Structures are given as structure tokens and as C-alpha cells.
Homo-oligomer: A and B are copies of this chain.
Amino acid sequence: MKIAQDKHYINSLYYKIEQTAKYCRYLGNQVFQKLNMPLSLEEFATLDTISLYDEICQRDLAKLILKDRPSTGRILNTLEDKNYITRFADTKNNRLVRKMKLTKEGKTVLERATKLLKEYMNNLPEFLSQADIEQLEASIIKFKQGLEKEVEMNI
């Protein structure tokens, strides 16, 4: 696959995506601080994932949030400490696993953070047309799916 005709890596699509992602992360973290959110962006994304995959086990969650098992476990520790989730033992394919659910408080916090974040983001100037956004979204998904097959994730 030809990704860059330029001779320099930093002009490649890969690098541009990485840099754009950095801006996304920095902006997200800044907004979370400005809005005095009670959780971090990573914790929020994890909570949001659990809300869409109720009673998921730790390893399956790790695969979704693209973190290794130790990191996933540690985020879940803090989410449980904050009383946003509860974990309980269960089995999956006859294996002992730890599954999790959002608590009432977890749901409330998630909804509130989602609302605040969305309001903030909607107030940003529109630097891409709605059509451009949809186009970008469609092609980035295809690109991501292509990459997925090439990377060994070892989760």
C-alpha cells in the first residue's frame, strides 16, 4: 500500500493521523479540566465503552479500549474506587472472569460528562462541513479496519 509518495515519514498519512490524534487528546484533556470533570478523559472513554457493552469482562474491554490488561485493570480499579462501576466474578467459556456494570452514580456521571462535552464541542468553530466530516469518518474507519489486520495486539 502506497501511503506517501513523499520521501519523508513526517509527511505521511500515518504521522498526520498521529499528530491529529495528539491534538484531539490535548483538547479533550483541557476541556475536561476546564469543565472540572470528576474523571479523566481515559476514564470517561472507558465508562462510555462499558455502558455500551454491559457485563463485559476485563480482557474483552481491554481489546475495545486498546490498552493492555494491566492498564485496563488499573483504570477499572479507579473507576470502582470512585463508585462508578462494580465488578463481580462470573464465567465466560467456563473461565473465571471479572465482569462489570455501571453503578447508578456511574450512569449519572457519564450522562452529565457526555452532555457537557457535547455542548463544549458544539461551540467550536466549524472547520469542516458536515459532508466533509462524514466523508472523513467513513474513510478513517476503513483505514482503521485495514490497519487492525496488520497489527498484532497481544491483548
Name the residue of chain B whose CB is nearest to the CB of A113.
Answer: B9
Q: How many residues of chain A are within 8 Å of chain B by beta carbon?
A: 63
If A9-B48, A117-B9, A128-B143 touch, whether A21 touches B21 (CB-CB below 8 Å) is yes
Bound form: Cα–Cα A21–B22 in Å: 9
B24, B66, B125: the one contacting A14 at CB < 8 Å is B24
Bound form: Cα–Cα A25–B150 in Å: 12
A10–chain B nearest beta-carbon distance, Å: 5
Q: Per-position contact with B for A114-153: 1 when CB-CB < 8 Å, else 0?
A: 1001100110111110101101110111111111111111
If A16-B140, A22-B66 touch, whether A27 touches B146 (CB-CB below 8 Å) is no
Name the residue of chain B whose CB is nearest to the CB of A26.
Answer: B151
Q: Which of A21, A127, A142 has the most CB of B within 10 A?
A: A21
Query: Is A89 an interface position by the 8 A CB rule?
Result: no
If A8-B52, A139-B128, A143-B136 touch, whether A151 touches B23 (CB-CB below 8 Å) is yes
- CB-based closest 4 A-B pairs: A127-B146, A21-B21, A23-B147, A136-B139
